[in-house]
Structures are given as structure tokens and as C-alpha cells.
């Protein structure tokens, strides 16, 4: 009997579920990859490749100063970024893999390698029930090995999670001085290989919330590595920021995530019951959304 409070990829009898749905070989490999390795690959197809070119044209002006290294939520002003992040094939595969309706809630565009230290997204955002969050990384151009490709550690989503520390309200300093070094030690100690994602334009790699990933070394500093990350939640959950929550005590710092598919916001819920995220969260989510309609940053 399926448990609707766990992503399908975390449940036994995934193959039987995929058989019942009659999915094709690509979606099957995507789902089993996510279950076993914490990553799944999809080719989004020719229309998506045309959207990649449009997304690059829409976002290149933000990087013209040479100093901007990423733009958050360009989807609010860039239709091709929004269309790619909410790509129908990607959404369909995620619905099969997780058993709930997906909705991207944030986008990040990178012009070059991110140099981002290895981390798991579950430190930044999670859900209750847990695990209904993932990241989708879409190559907007063919990725060269010397351009700082995405790196990831298959199987690391099964390791015990690293936490930011035991302070009630950890800071960025705690994240930098405790979490990132602990994560780097875990990458080494686990002995699991680290892989490089040399994706072609229009391919999407999805990582599970607990998967260790980051930006690989940039050997060629004049190279571009245009990419789009869509962070995705699933409907009917409580959405929260783990760094500011005491999960064991049941105190969640609730979020009111945007829903790129509707252009509105998605209310946090426990079962069918809406949860109150607090006036400040509502004000901030709406204010950030409105600000980014004018100035993505
Ligand atoms: O694109 C990259 O290099 C890393 C992106 C990433 O880690 C993230 O968005 O969580």
C-alpha cells in the first residue's frame, strides 16, 4: 500500500508503480536514478533547446557588468526562463517520481561556473512530510569540462544528513564555519565517488533534497557555463526553512513559496488544512516577489 506522505522514489515497489503508470524508458530511468543515486536525467527536447537560447538572450543583460554571478527569480521577467523551469516533460516526470503535483518556486541563472561549495538543498528548504523538494539543473548550453560543471555525489542522499549546528538560530557564519566543512568531510569520508555533470543544452539533471552537490572547479576562467536551476516543491505540504526551525520541537519557520506555474503563491498545508505562515512571512514573500518583477538580483 503506497504511503502518500513519502515521495514515491523513497517507497518500496517503485518498479510496480512505474509499470502501473506505463511510463517510457526515459522516465523509468529518471525515477530509478533518483531513488538509487539521488539524481535523475531527462532530455527536455527540441522545443526546450530553443527556449534555452531565448532564456540566455533574456538573462545575458543581467551579467553584462561581468561581476554578477547569478540572478535569482529571473522567471518573473523572463518568459523563457519561466517556461523552462515549468517544462511539461519535467513536471510530468516529477509527478511520477514524487506522487504529488510539483511546482517550481525559485529560479537561479548562472552565466559561469558557480564555485558553490558542496551542500544539500535540505539545509536551505525542506517540507513536512519531508523530502518533497528537489532541484532541477538545466544546461542552457553544452557544458565544457573546464567551465566549472555541476558536481554531485551519487548515493549521498542516503547518508545521515549534516546539520548547521545546534544553535537555535544559526547564522551564515555557522553555515560557513560548521556546515560546509562538515559536508566536505562527509564527502571525503563516505568514499562515494564525486561525478561531474557534463550536460548538453536542453538536458535537465534533478537532484534529491539530501544529495550532496555543488559547483566544480573552473579551469578556464573565460568560459561560460550558462545554466538554470529550478527549485521545486510539491503541493499539499508544510514548506519551511530548516536553518531557522526546531524540527524536533515541531517549530517550523514556514515559507510561503511562489508557484511559477500559476504566478501566485502556494499556501503551506498539513494534509488538507492550511497553515498560517505568519504576517511577516506573507509580507516578505509578496514584497520579494514584487521587487523581483522589477529588479531580479
Ligand atoms: O550550479 C551550480 O554550480 C550549483 C547550484 C546549486 O548548488 C544549487 O542551486 O543548489
- Residue 13, helix vs strand vs coil: coil
The total of other beta-carbon atoms located within 10 Å of residue 46's CB is 9
The pick from 135, 199, 213 for probing ligand 1's pocket by mutation, whose C-beta has the most ligand atoms within 8 angstroms, reads 213
Whether residue 116 has its Cβ less than 6 Å from ligand 1: yes
Query: Which amino acid residue places its CA nearest to atom 9 of ligand 1?
Result: 229
Closest by CA to 150, choosing from 241, 245, 214, is 214
Interval between CA 214 and ligand 1 midpoint (Å): 5
Interval between CA 143 and ligand 1 midpoint (Å): 14
Tens digits of per-residue pLDDT, 176-195?
999 999 999 999 999 999 99
Adjacent-strand bridge partners of 40: 206
Q: Quick check: bond before 129 cis, omega within 30?
A: yes
Whether residue 214 has its Cβ less than 6 Å from ligand 1: yes
Kindly report the pTM of this predicted structure. Answer: 0.96
248: pLDDT confidence band, cut at 50, 70 and 90?
confident
Closest by CA to 75, choosing from 103, 36, 47, 108, is 108
Adjacent-strand bridge partners of 41: 205
In this prediction, residue 157 carries a pLDDT of 97
167: pLDDT confidence band, cut at 50, 70 and 90?
low
pLDDT of residue 116 exceeding 90, the answer is yes
In this prediction, residue 166 carries a pLDDT of 64
Interval between CA 117 and ligand 1 midpoint (Å): 9
Domains defined along the chain, listed by start? 8-294 (2.60.120.620)
Residues 6+ apart with CB under 8 A from 78: 55, 58, 59
In this prediction, residue 94 carries a pLDDT of 98
- Taking the CA of residue 149 as reference, the ligand 1 atom at the shortest distance is 3
57: pLDDT confidence band, cut at 50, 70 and 90?
very high
- Taking the CA of residue 215 as reference, the ligand 1 atom at the shortest distance is 3
pLDDT of residue 295 exceeding 80, the answer is no
* End-to-end Cα distance, the chain: 45
Interval between CA 149 and ligand 1 midpoint (Å): 10
Amino acid at each position: 500500500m503506497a504511503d502518500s506522505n513519502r515521495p514515491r522514489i523513497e517507497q518500496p515497489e517503485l518498479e510496480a508503480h512505474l509499470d502501473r503508470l506505463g511510463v517510457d524508458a526515459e522516465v523509468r530511468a529518471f525515477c530509478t536514478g533518483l531513488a538509487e543515486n539521488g539524481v535523475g536525467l531527462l532530455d527536455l527536447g527540441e522545443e526546450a533547446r530553443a527556449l534555452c537560447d531565448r532564456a540566455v538572450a533574456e538573462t545575458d543583460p543581467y551579467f553584462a557588468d561581468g561581476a554578477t554571478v547569478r540572478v535569482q527569480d529571473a522567471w518573473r521577467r523572463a518568459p523563457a526562463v519561466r517556461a523552462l523551469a515549468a517544462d511539461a516533460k519535467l513536471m510530468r516526470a516529477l509527478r511520477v517520481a514524487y506522487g504529488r503535483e510539483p511546482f517550481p518556486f525559485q529560479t537561479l541563472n548562472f552565466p559561469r561556473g558557480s564555485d558553490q561549495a558542496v551542500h544539500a538543498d535540505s539545509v536551505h528548504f525542506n517540507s513536512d512530510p519531508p523530502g518533497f523538494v528537489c532541484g532541477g539543473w538545466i544546461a542552457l548550453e553544452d557544458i565544457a569540462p573546464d567551465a566549472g560543471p555541476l558536481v554531485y555525489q551519487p548515493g549521498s542522499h542516503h547518508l545521515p544528513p549534516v546539520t548547521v549546528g545546534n544553535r537555535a538560530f544559526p547564522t551564515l557564519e555557522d553555515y560557513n564555519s560548521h556546515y560546509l566543512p562538515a559536508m566536505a568531510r562527509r564527502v571525503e569520508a563516505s568514499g562515494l565517488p564525486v561525478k561531474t555533470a557534463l550536460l548538453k543544452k536542453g538536458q535537465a539533471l534533478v537532484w534529491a533534497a539530501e544529495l550532496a552537490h555543488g559547483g566544480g572547479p573552473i579551469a578556464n576562467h573565460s568560459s561560460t557555463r550558462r545554466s538554470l536551476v529550478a527549485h521545486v516543491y510539491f503541493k499539499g505540504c508544510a514548506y519551511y526553512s530548516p536553518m531557522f526551525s526546531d524540527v524536533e520541537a515541531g517549530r517550523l519557520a514556514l515559507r510561503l513559496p511562489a508557484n511559477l506555474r500559476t504566478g501566485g503563491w502556494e499556501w503551506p498545508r498539513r494534509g488538507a488544512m492550511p497553515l498560517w505562515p505568519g504576517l511577516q512571512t506573507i509580507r516578505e514573500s509578496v514584497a520579494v516577489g514584487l521587487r523581483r518583477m522589477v529588479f531580479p538580483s
